[in-house]
Amino acid sequence: MQRLLPAAIVAVAALVAGCGGSPDTGAPATADQGPQTGTITFTGTDNAETYQPVIKAFEAKNPGIKVTYTQIPFDQFNATMQQRLSAKDAAIDVYTVDEPRVSQLAAKGFLTDLSDLDAKVKTSFSATAYKTNHFRDKLWSLPMWNSTQFLFYNKTALAKAKVTPPTADPEQRWTWEQVEAAGRKAMQSGGTKYGLFMEQPEAYYQLQPLAESLGGGSGIEGDDALTPAVETDGWKKAMQWYGATFASGLSPRGIGGFQTGPVFAAGDVAFFVGGPWDLKIFGSSKVDWGVAPMPYFQGGKPVTPTGSWSVGINPASKQQGMARKFVEFATLDPAGNLATTSTTTIIPANLEAQKQYTPQMDKFSGAKTAGAAAITTYESEHTAVSRPVSVGYIQFEEVMGKAFADIRNGTNSDARLQEATRQLTDAWKSIK
Amino acid sequence: MKQRQGLIALAFLAPALVCLAVLRIVPAISAVVESFYTESLLRGGRVFAGLGNYTDLLSNKDFRQSIGVTLLFTVLVNPIQVAVSFLLAVLFTQRAAGAKLWRTLVILPIATPPAVSAVIWSVIYRPDGLANGVLERLGLPAQPFLTSPSQVLPSLIVLLSWIGVGYWMLFLIAGIQEVPEEVREAALLDGAGPWRRMVSVVLPLVRRPLAFVLVADTVSNLLVFAPVQILTKGGPNGNSNLLMYDVYSRAYAIGDIHVAQAEVVILVALTLAIVAGQFRLLRGDQ
């Protein structure tokens, strides 16, 4: 029996092993480009099929270089990468970078400096994309995709409930109040279980526009962008409304991140807020549906999310040269950038590629997706607000994600936002 | 000659010792050392902080809540799992039709990785899931399960017991089968009923495997991680934020590796204290 005591120590010590290593700051521009041919690894969150076309095109253009793709599910991606990059894992050459995380990843020395591509990047991408991939006047990653959000609606359920559905015209955009009222009607007489559902109900990306629509700001302020500001009137109002949609049963609790889309596809919800990728995914659903612009609050202004994944190079990679070739092909080369969007329908970030891509969006799922192209263009020109650029964004997203989950589950939203302010202040103490 | 023998023994032990040092002892020491340092992302550089990380942690409301939740969880889950495992072990050592089949069914969840079990239970606990379906059939109101601050911990305990009891039951079945047949027969002849035989004969004789199960179960429950990460992320309101998950989120989500290492050290200390307490209690019993 005495042997158990050491066993306990060993068991706990085993967990300690994962916590080793300390990050260093500022990645030096690597002089050693590594071999000219070989195999590089590319790590991201999407299914392997998503990147097959771009990898194939790249390999055809660069004989002797092979690319292997590794998928890490979105829920675990950031934490796993943090762990592997801080351990200087050379088995990752190229990886996808969520745009608001660029600052912190760069500050931690997890990205190779790409500043020599600056001029090229400035002309190939939008000003927003150009800016978000910079930190301390240096370029750290190359924008691959862009995104926006749509309001998907169940045509059959709305017709049954005798509700005139929203149109695709951004000038006729619905308010959240209208969506709520129509959603309730659909629950009463349209045959749906729920009225409204967000695709990522606990993600800052989708909920920031609620607060911004009411003038609540991004939630981060200050010169160093390390001061929490999530208790503004806009944030409080938006979260009171959001919490109430769950308390009243308009939206379901307890259905997690990647189980949300199927709820709409199965016809169980009248309105669904989702991204361009859903334009094709829902195509296989038996439900008849349409797309409209993302709603805003009555008396507020229309605001939509934007930004998506960039790609960057791991400074610990021993194959910098080949990795460089791949990230340039997948982003700066319009054909390569387009190839990244042929399986999963997401907007390419390269402006040249975007020009060719956007018009096709109307036909992703036949007549159902009519109007998607015009909405996409309109939102990117008028309503898109990116997530805040802050070296503390990673902590911010983490803390806010938990706050949104609690508000969803019925915690008083004002008190929970106050709690989030305290948690952010605590978490950012170690950064300052 | 003796010295030579010692050297040979050492050579045979070397691979194990090297592994122990590299995989366990060095990381453990490194965690303790790192827990005394701090690092600023903006200013850079690693600075000695003394007990700073520990005082920061102890003054942090979320951490104190996490300790409370972990202790409550430990106090609830271990007696429940040990008692259920023991009762199942007694049940499945009876000579009854299909006992072996039932035993297999109870053990089966061990073959499922914890992550997969968690995903299965996420569907069971959904508002429109299996659990509420069963409640509805029985004419009972639907329950919020994982989305309720008061039900989240009991829901996790049910899930973890579904995974765990079969495993712990195996040790107890082995123990019960070791109880000599004569002793049971003697009790039977003395006119002891089934309850009496279980409490006064079987229970004292399986004390050793029972003690093992209690201690090992306690340690494994202090290190519960996957279901929390997959199902609740520590919520609602931190009511399922077990220490192991808190360490993980501090280290890799919040990214404060030094404070996380201080927390690991506290977790180890807590585990050792609880296990040492259990040893003391068990020794007192003998």
Q: What confidence score (pLDDT) does residue B114 get?
A: 82
Domains of chain B: residue spans and CATH = 1-33 (no CATH), 62-285 (1.10.3720.10)
At residue B97, the pLDDT reads 76
Interval B21-53: pLDDT, tens:
999 999 999 999 989 988 776 666 788 888 889
Residue of A nearest to B63 (CA): A423
ipTM: 0.83
- Interchain pair A9, B272: CB under 8 A: yes
- Nearest CB partner across the interface for B212, out of A4, A406, A409: A4
Quote the pLDDT of residue A6. Answer: 42
A95: which strand partners?
A43, A312
- Which architecture does CATH list for A27-147+308-349? 3-Layer(aba) Sandwich (3.40)
**DSSP string over B23-78:** IIIHHHHHHHHHTTEEE-TTT--EEE-TTHHHHHHHT-HHHHHHHHHHHHHHHHHH
The least confident of A19-33, A258-272, B174-188 is A19-33
| pLDDT range class, residue A211, cuts 50, 70, 90 | very high
Is the pLDDT confidence value at A421 over 80?
yes
Domain with CATH 3.40.190.10 in chain A: 27-147+308-349, 150-305+386-429
Distance, in angstroms, between A123 CA and closest chain B CA? 30
Average confidence score pLDDT of chain A: 89
The shortest CB-CB distance from B235 to any of A26, A402, A432 is to A402
Rounded distance, CA B171 to CA A260, Å? Answer: 42
What pLDDT sits at residue A8? 41
B127 in contact with A at a CB cutoff of 8 Å? yes
Mean pLDDT taken over chain B? 89
**A395, B255 in Cβ contact below 8 A?**
yes
pLDDT band for A75, please (50, 70, 90 cuts): confident
Q: What is the pLDDT of residue B43?
A: 66
Residue A21 Cα, gap to closest chain B Cα (Å): 9
Give B2's Cβ-side CA count (13 Å radius).
0
Q: B151 and chain A: CB distance < 8 Å anywhere?
A: no
Res. A137: pLDDT tops 50: yes
Nearest chain A residue to B268 by CA distance is: A12
pLDDT at A26 over 60: no
The architecture of the domain spanning A150-305+386-429 is: 3-Layer(aba) Sandwich (3.40)
**Higher-confidence position of A53 and B50:** A53
% of chain A surpassing 90 pLDDT: 77
pLDDT tens sequence across A155-171: 999 999 999 999 999 99
Of B40, B126, B275, the CB nearest to A431: B40
CA–CA dist B286, B284 (Å, integer): 6
Spans in chain B with pLDDT lower than 50? 286
Is there a contact between A195 and A186 (Cβ–Cβ < 8 Å)?
yes
Side chain identity at residue A169, one-letter code: D
CB pair distance less than 8 Å for A430 and B41: yes
Probe site for chain B from A75, A135, A430, A432 (most B CB atoms < 10 A): A430
**Cβ B255–A394 below 8 Å, yes or no?**
yes
Length of chain A: 432
Q: Would an 8 Å CB–CB cutoff place A22 in contact with chain B?
A: yes
Q: CA-based Rg of chain B, rounded to a whole angstrom?
A: 24
Q: Check residue B1 and give its pLDDT.
A: 64
- Tell me the pLDDT tens digit for each residue of A293-336: 999 999 999 999 999 999 999 999 999 999 999 999 999 999 99
